[in-house]
Amino acid sequence: MGFIQSTFSLLVGAAGGIYIAQNYDVPNIKNYMQGLMGKAKELDHAYKKPEDGSKSKAYVFPFTPRYIIPVAGMMVGNAMTVTGVTMKKLHEDVKTQRSLVETALALGATPRQATVQQVRRSLVIALSPVIDNAKTVGLIALPGAMTGLIMGGASPLEAIQLQIVVMNMLMGASTVSSILSTYLCWPAFFTKAFQIDNSVFAD
């Protein structure tokens, strides 16, 4: 049955191909593919990073201590602030909503399941200023790094590129640090018996 079906499909396909080739102008796929390959090569040549002598121009800033140390300092400082706000808000929410958390634990939920809403709320509140700041950069507020570069004589395009990279790095560092801190500090709120640790929430 399979052989007959395959043979029938082959004959129908061959007959259909012959009919289309004799009665219609079939597009030359080879020419189309060559044209697409040519366009792809043009795009690759236009956006490819320069090599050797002009390699430093391929990046927003070179990977040297002169540039890495200030950017890393901004990332660490911003991540520490967001992490502190996240942990403080999480501690407050678990403390104020202790009855809800204990009810969930009594019904069989794990500590992570019992406090997932508090964790989400703390992350949203802590990351909101960073996200809102990214929304207004360049439109309402001009960051110090970009303003300083422009006033120092740098190209506005280069200053904008640097600021975009810095803002993305700040948001990434803040997000990773806040999520990682909540994940690692979750067990500290509970005992090994899956009960809220009173010593953590003592006044």
Task: Report the predicted TM-score, pTM, of the whole model to 2 decimal places.
Answer: 0.61
| pLDDT score, position 50 | 60
| pLDDT score, position 42 | 76
Per mean pLDDT, which range of 8-17, 66-75, 145-154, 194-203 is the poorest?
Answer: 8-17
- In this predicted model, which residue has the larger pLDDT, 137 or 173? 173
- In this predicted model, which residue has the larger pLDDT, 127 or 203? 127
| pLDDT score, position 56 | 46
Asked if residue 55 has pLDDT above 60, the reply is no
Which DSSP state fits 200? T
| CB count in 10 Å sphere of residue 65 | 8
The two structure tokens encoding residue 29? 């796929």
Report pLDDT digits (tens) over 79-133.
999 999 999 998 888 888 888 888 988 898 888 888 889 999 999 999 988 888 8
- What is the mean pLDDT of the segment spanning 138-156? 72
- In this predicted model, which residue has the larger pLDDT, 136 or 51? 136
State the average pLDDT for the chain: 78
Kindly write down the DSSP assignment for every residue of 119-183, as one continuous string. Answer: HHHHHHHHHHHHHHHHHHBTTTB--HHHHHHHHTT--HHHHHHHHHHHHHHHHHHHHHHHHHHHH
**Exposed/middle/buried for residue 125 (C-beta within 10 Å: 0-12, 13-18, 19+):** middle
Report pLDDT digits (tens) over 8-21.
666 767 777 677 76
- What is the mean pLDDT of the segment spanning 178-188? 86
CA distance linking residue 114 with residue 39, whole number of Å: 55
